[in-house]
Amino acid sequence: MSKNLPKTYTIKNYGCQMNVYDGERMAELFDAQGMTPADDKNDADIVVLNTCHIREKAAEKVYSEIGRLGKTSRNPGGPMIAVAGCVAQAEGSEISRRAPTVDIVVGPQAYHNLPQMIADVADGKRAVDLDLPGLDKFSQLPQKRKTGASAFLTVQEGCDKFCTYCVVPYTRGAEVSRSWNALIDEAKALIDGGAKEITLLGQNVNAWTGEDDTGRAQGLDGLIRALDRLNGLNRIRYMTSHPNDMTEGLIAAHGDVESLMPFLHLPVQSGSDRILKAMNRSHSRDSYLKILDRARTVRPDIALSGDFIVGFPGESDADFADTLSLVRAVGYAQAFSFKYSPRPGTPAADMDAQISTDIMDDRLQQLQSQLVADQSAFNSKSLGQTCEVLLERPGKFGNQLIGKSPWMQSVHVLAPDLTIGDIVEVEITDSGPLSLKGEPTMRAAA
Ligand code: SAM
Ligand code: SF4
């Protein structure tokens, strides 16, 4: 039975910033087809669930979300449903088997084919595309970018590191870097669209390599230096980095590239060398700490962030104590911490000595109390100081705007005469564990 082509869409993103970027690119693709975002998210002609598979229950959440859309084989009149992202890649055709109301299953490297897939569905077919063709999609997405004051730019995809707990190498494929020219062009399109800040994204963003327009080999630091020279770009950030790809050149860039913000997100996962080895992280506690020391040497005010997993198989009390001592030694400005989640098909899922939920809960609670205390302490050092804030979005209250300090802190500003995209000098008047409040003193840059 053929169906009408959808006119309105809703995209629901789960997981990391790379999915947010992919969701933005899908929206641009739909806009170029003459479709518009649905005014009422529950009443779109097509719903895209852009999924994440990094931790357990992600797939189950997707199935219950599909159920909530209220379409059944007896009542097929609901929206067209597309499952995109890493759950689509990992589950594949199993999705259509378990949830026959799903029309489209599309992996993270094939979503540029969505318009054709939608046309196929309108012709009465079901569409599945799980190819991992590397970088094909980027050349086929609209070149004009729709953006806010702070924009994401994916520079690298995939991962060859194969940490024993992680699904990314399987769902996102091998490491590939986008070309220098493609990235400079997309950065210019983002600046033309109003971006003042660009965050370079990749599963291992600092593994990016390429050749510049003179054919010279470059790493992420070279790309950052080239972006720094673009007119109209005030701030550059990058995430997520792997410790083994933190080159001297990239660390040095933190010392002398003015637009590179003083913030480094560098996941460590554990403070125990024994666990790091079992995780196949290929860095040690000491080599990680040395990188942070060097970053602090070139940029003493740099804010540090990390990712942690508690309860990896075989993690003893002593291993966990090593993680806590590393956290205390570093004093993170912010961090993400997770309970280990066994992922089918990864080596760690079959390891002996899986840790009980009770122990994981207890360790996560201890770790997070330390991290929250450190984040509060970091934020409270800003009290009474002034800093530049890029205003990014409206707050909950009238006249309130929310932006980011250079150190990635959220700052709430009451500013009737300011607009999103302004960079303002703000005096910090209040601090909490998650955010700061401030009053503008003067406008810093247009
Ligand atoms: N490439 C980055 C790195 O090397 O750290 C991380 C990217 S991964 C998408 C984001 C974070 O998810 C990881 O740093 C890790 O803390 C967490 N993570 C990945 N697999 C996990 C698992 N099986 N259980 C719990 N957390 C996990
Ligand atoms: Fe996953 Fe990061 Fe390890 Fe790659 S380096 S396998 S993305 S945790």
Q: Give residue-wise pLDDT tens across range 72-103.
A: 665 667 899 999 999 999 888 889 888 889 99
* Residues forming beta bridges with residue 117, ordered by sequence position: none
d(CA 18, CA 186): 16
CB 191 within 8 A of CB 143: no
Beta-carbon contacts of residue 238 (< 8 Å; ≥ 6 apart): 199, 200, 201, 202, 205, 206, 220, 224
Instruction: Provide the pLDDT for residue 443.
Output: 58
Distance (angstroms) between ligand 2 centre and the Cα of 172 equals 11
For the chain, the residue count is: 446
Beta-carbon contacts of residue 115 (< 8 Å; ≥ 6 apart): 29, 30, 33
Assign 369 to helix, strand or coil.
helix
d(CA 175, CA 157): 6
Q: From atom 5 of ligand 2, which residue's Cα is the shortest distance away?
A: 161
DSSP summary character for residue 285: H
pTM: 0.94
Pairing mode, strands 156-157 and 176-177: antiparallel
Which of ligand 2's atoms lies nearest the C-alpha of 160?
A: 4
Nearest residue to 312 via CA among 337, 284, 336? 337
Lowest mean pLDDT among 119-133, 273-287, 332-346, 387-401: 119-133
More confident of the two residues 325 and 143:
325
Rg for the chain, CA atoms, rounded:
23
Distance (angstroms) between ligand 2 centre and the Cα of 16 equals 13
**Cα–Cα distance list, 219 to 152, 246, 252, 296 (Å):** 19, 10, 13, 21
Residue type, 321: A
* Residue from 242, 338, 350, 363 whose mutation best tests the ligand 1 pocket (most atoms within 8 A of CB): 338
Nearest residue to 296 via CA among 271, 325, 264, 318? 264
Which of ligand 2's atoms lies nearest the C-alpha of 167?
A: 1
d(CA 77, CA 172): 33
* Token reading at 438: 């401030």
Which of ligand 1's atoms lies nearest the C-alpha of 243?
A: 4
d(CA 333, CA 343): 29
Instruction: Provide the pLDDT for residue 31.
Output: 95
DSSP summary character for residue 360: H
C-alpha 309, offset from chain centre: 17
Overall average pLDDT of the 174-199 stretch = 96
pLDDT exceeds 60 at position 445: no
CB 314 within 8 A of CB 353: yes
Distance (angstroms) between ligand 2 centre and the Cα of 115 equals 31
pLDDT exceeds 80 at position 442: no
pLDDT exceeds 70 at position 1: no
d(CA 90, CA 134): 17
pLDDT exceeds 60 at position 182: yes
Residue type, 65: E
Distance (angstroms) between ligand 1 centre and the Cα of 272 equals 16
Instruction: Provide the pLDDT for residue 72.
Output: 62
Overall average pLDDT of the 199-203 stretch = 96
Distance (angstroms) between ligand 2 centre and the Cα of 168 equals 6
pLDDT exceeds 80 at position 70: no
Each residue's pLDDT tens digit, 361-371: 999 999 999 99
Each residue's pLDDT tens digit, 304-320: 999 999 999 999 999 99
CA of 242, nearest ligand number: 1
> For the chain, what is the total number of helices (H) and then of strands (E)?
14, 21
